[in-house]
């Protein structure tokens, strides 16, 4: 039997005249995700993308795992392509292909979708004939049209007849690359990888910017960020990680700025430097993992001071979420256990004992200007480290 994957488009179907462009990007992203597994033929028609392996040794279990993380796919099914587009071929294929599911079930039903109106039987007739065959082959089963243990799906399409069981929920969203490019400030914590994931889900191609402060932060802290991004890139696709040397700036911050403003001014410096990097990489927005009120630097007053440092739009997808909601997503995308490893990033260096929760923008600007960070910013931007991130499977 020839097995294939049937992928259902999500929001793409609403894109009107731009739909073809979105589908082309989605198919490209699918090819990228499956590239290392072998050769596939990828075609689209009638709001469905068909992924057909071109060799018999392809690991379809792994292929399912990977397409399940591609944004733009609302659901996917592992299906069998019938030998012919006839009712006899459907009857021959379904009881055999779905044997495992049918033997384990107590109830079932058949659903048919006949988009090829030239097919001689209508959908109710397909369901009735195939249902009778399945009951004969598996007499322990009974029909339950409301809450069956397994549903047998028959799809009669212009390009073939397919049989499969229940579809699996996909990643949703829209294809990465259709929403533009953005730079995400990435740390080794729980929040920023989740923020990166959530904005990639809205179609953004990501460039990651990480700040390192050796010897206050270790090599393992940077390696931890690489591993986090490898997990995120299973959803967001390949990306560039830019590591900014931040030690000299943090030491000057410690020496020349009021302690209660350390965190605010540090965030402003990060935003300013990330914005410059973003321009170089054709990014049109910044992304952070801030959640309102979570820490002192994430109050309304502090966020106002931070936003003042950059002209680009800043996306904060976690802004209204509580910590448990963020942790739940971190578990879902498999970043949580890596995030809690005890290798701290530069955000924990020189943390003030009593940070200002209601900073006044005028005083923050004045303190930053007096310190004179610009020469150190220029030096840091001349010594960036570039790492190419590919998915960790």
Last residue of a domain, one of 169, 202, 218: 169
154 in the same domain as 187? no
Mean pLDDT, range 90-111, rounded to an integer: 96
Domain presence at residue 175 = no
- The reported pLDDT for the residue numbered 344 is 76
- The reported pLDDT for the residue numbered 356 is 77
Phi, psi at 152, each rounded to 5°: -95, 120
DSSP string, 105-157: -SEEEEEEEE--TTSSS-HHHHHHHHHHHHHHH-TT-EE-SSS-SEEEEEEEE
203 in the same domain as 130? no
Domain presence at residue 176 = no
Residues 6+ apart with CB under 8 A from 189: 289, 339, 345, 347
pLDDT in tens, 27-36: 999 999 999 9
- The reported pLDDT for the residue numbered 72 is 95
262 in the same domain as 187? yes
Q: Which of 230, 201, 244 is nearest to 334 (CA)?
A: 230
Residue predicted with more confidence, 356 or 85: 85
364 in the same domain as 248? yes
372 in the same domain as 264? yes
**pLDDT class of 343 with cuts at 50, 70, 90:** confident
- Which pairing describes strands 73-81 and 160-164: parallel, antiparallel, or unpaired? antiparallel
260 in the same domain as 385? yes
Mean pLDDT, range 200-223, rounded to an integer: 94
Mean pLDDT, range 140-155, rounded to an integer: 96
284 in the same domain as 148? no
- Which pairing describes strands 285-287 and 181-185: parallel, antiparallel, or unpaired? parallel
198 in the same domain as 136? no
Domain presence at residue 325 = yes
253 in the same domain as 310? yes
Mean pLDDT, range 333-350, rounded to an integer: 86
47 in the same domain as 185? no
Read off the CATH number of the domain in which 66 is found: 3.30.2130.30
Number of structural domains (the chain) is 2
How many CA atoms are closer than 13 Å to the CA of 174, on its beta-carbon side?
A: 18
Q: How many other CB atoms are found less than 10 A from the CB of residue 29?
A: 21
Q: What is d(CA 330, CA 76) in angstroms, rounded to the nearest whole number? A: 23
pLDDT in tens, 170-191: 999 999 999 999 999 999 899 9
Domain presence at residue 42 = yes
- The reported pLDDT for the residue numbered 9 is 87
Domain presence at residue 377 = yes
- Which pairing describes strands 385-389 and 239-245: parallel, antiparallel, or unpaired? antiparallel
Residue with tokens 């082309």: 24
Entry pTM: 0.91
305 in the same domain as 378? yes
Report the mean per-residue pLDDT for the chain.
93
193 in the same domain as 154? no
Phi, psi at 348, each rounded to 5°: -95, 0
Last residue of a domain, one of 149, 169, 189: 169
Domain presence at residue 235 = yes
Domain presence at residue 291 = yes
Read off the CATH number of the domain in which 311 is found: 3.40.50.620
Last residue of a domain, one of 113, 139, 169: 169
Domain presence at residue 24 = yes
Token pair in block for residue 214: 């050796």
Q: What is d(CA 90, CA 121) in angstroms, rounded to the nearest whole number? A: 12
Residue 46 has pLDDT above 80, yes or no: no
Domain that holds residue 147: 2-169
Residue predicted with more confidence, 343 or 322: 322
Q: What is d(CA 206, CA 239) in angstroms, rounded to the nearest whole number? A: 6
């Amino acid at each position: 039997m020839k097995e294939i994957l049937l992928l259902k488009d999500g929001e793409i179907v609403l894109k009107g005249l731009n739909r073809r462009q979105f589908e082309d990007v989605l198919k490209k992203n699918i090819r990228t995700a499956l590239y290392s597994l072998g050769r596939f033929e990828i075609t689209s028609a009638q709001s469905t993308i068909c992924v057909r392996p071109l060799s018999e040794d392809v690991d379809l279990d792994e292929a399912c795992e990977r397409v399940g993380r591609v944004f733009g796919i609302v659901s996917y099914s592992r299906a069998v392509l019938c030998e012919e587009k006839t009712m006899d071929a459907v009857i021959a294929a379904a009881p055999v292909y779905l044997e495992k599911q049918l033997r384990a079930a107590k109830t079932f039903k058949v659903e048919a979708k006949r988009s090829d109106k030239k097919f001689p039987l209508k959908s109710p007739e397909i369901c009735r004939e195939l249902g009778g065959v399945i009951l004969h082959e598996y007499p322990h089963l009974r029909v339950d049209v409301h809450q069956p243990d397994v549903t047998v799906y028959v799809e009669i399409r212009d390009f073939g007849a397919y049989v499969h069981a229940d579809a699996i929920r996909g990643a949703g969203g829209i294809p990465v690359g259709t929403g533009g490019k953005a730079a995400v400030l990435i740390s080794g914590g729980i929040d920023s990888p989740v923020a990166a994931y959530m904005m990639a889900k809205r179609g953004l191609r990501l460039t990651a910017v990480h700040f390192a402060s050796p010897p206050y932060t270790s090599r393992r802290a940077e390696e931890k960020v690489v591993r986090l991004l490898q997990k995120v890139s299973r959803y967001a696709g390949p990306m560039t990680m830019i590591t900014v040397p931040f030690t000299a700036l943090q030491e000057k911050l410690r020496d020349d700025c009021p302690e209660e403003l350390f965190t605010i001014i540090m965030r402003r410096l990060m935003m300013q430097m990330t914005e410059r990097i973003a321009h170089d990489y054709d990014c049109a927005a910044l992304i952070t993992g801030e959640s309102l009120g979570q820490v002192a630097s994430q109050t309304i007053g502090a966020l106002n001071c931070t936003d003042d440092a950059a002209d680009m739009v800043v996306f904060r997808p976690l802004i209204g979420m509580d910590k448990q909601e963020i942790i739940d997503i971190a578990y879902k995308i498999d970043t949580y256990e890596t995030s809690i490893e005890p290798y701290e990033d530069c955000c924990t260096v020189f943390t003030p004992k009593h940070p200002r929760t209601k900073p006044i923008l005028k005083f923050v600007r004045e303190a930053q200007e007096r310190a004179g960070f610009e020469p150190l910013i220029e030096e840091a931007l001349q010594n960036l480290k570039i790492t190419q991130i590919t998915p960790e499977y």
